[in-house]
Amino acid sequence: MINNRISPRTQSIVFIGFMGVGKTTIGQLVAKKLYRDFIDIDQEIEKEYNMPTTEIFKKIGEKAFREKEKSLIEHFSQQPLKIISVGGGAFLQEEIRKICLANCTVFFLDLSWEYWKDRISLIIDSRPVLQGRTLEEIEELFNNRQEIYSYHHSKVKTDGLDVEEVADYIVESLKVTWDIRE
């Protein structure tokens, strides 16, 4: 469903990118700077099922997780003034891509493999898609997903930047875009 009634200044903002690139952390900072509500789709799913994502994948399955993910993204993307972080695999679903691109401003947080692999020890336990894979398999997954992240409105290269710098850049670029459109 597409909501054409929301102006660019008030439409929600969606952060996409591979797991562990900082969508939640940066999204929270941008939300604070723009005085908007922050929604992490994975956390919303965990609240609904009352268990972590890894348990949801084991007990209920990835298919049920992806269906719930689509439903929540569709709901929140049609509301104004939200900052939404979607899971690294959400954009694998064409319907989710279309919903987000039609209703929101989509930012791709682009972190290179060289920078990303330094984070693996911090995130592997909480990411069911990474568990049981070799570093080479994870790199292949990382590279394969880059194509789905090419569907966005704006890309931010985050290599070597801290989260404050990225959030400030995003806020400033949005303000410039909003001023141009008015």
Residue 1 located in a structural domain: no
Is it the case that residue 148 has pLDDT exceeding 60? yes
The confidence score (pLDDT) of residue 129 equals 77
Residue 27 located in a structural domain: yes
pLDDT tens profile 91-114: 989 999 999 999 999 999 999 999
Q: How many whole angstroms separate alpha carbon 175 and alpha carbon 171?
A: 6
pLDDT tens profile 43-84: 999 999 999 988 998 899 989 999 999 999 999 999 999 999
Residues at the binding site for ATP are: 20-25, 127
Per-residue confidence band for 151, with pLDDT thresholds at 50, 70 and 90: very high
Mean pLDDT confidence for 168-172: 96
The confidence score (pLDDT) of residue 119 equals 85
For the chain, the first-to-last Cα distance in angstroms comes to 25
Mean pLDDT confidence for 112-139: 85
Q: At 25, which amino acid appears?
A: T
CATH code for the domain in which residue 49 is found:
3.40.50.300
The confidence score (pLDDT) of residue 140 equals 94
Q: How many whole angstroms separate alpha carbon 177 and alpha carbon 20?
A: 27
Q: How many CB atoms lie within 10 A of CB 130?
A: 18
Nearest to 101 by CA among 173, 167, 150: 150
Q: Are 170 and 26 in contact (CB under 8 A)?
A: yes
Domain count within the chain: 1
Residues at the binding site for Mg(2+) are: 24
The confidence score (pLDDT) of residue 102 equals 94
Mean pLDDT confidence for 144-160: 94
DSSP assignment, residue 101?
H
Residues at the binding site for substrate are: 42, 66, 88, 145
pLDDT tens profile 19-35: 889 999 999 999 999 99
Residue 81 belongs to domain spanning:
13-175
The confidence score (pLDDT) of residue 167 equals 97
The confidence score (pLDDT) of residue 5 equals 62
Residue 63 located in a structural domain: yes
Residues at the binding site are: 20-25, 42, 66, 88, 127, 145
The confidence score (pLDDT) of residue 180 equals 65
Specify the residue for token string 């591979």: 18
* Average pLDDT of the residues of the chain: 90
pTM score, whole prediction: 0.91
The confidence score (pLDDT) of residue 4 equals 54
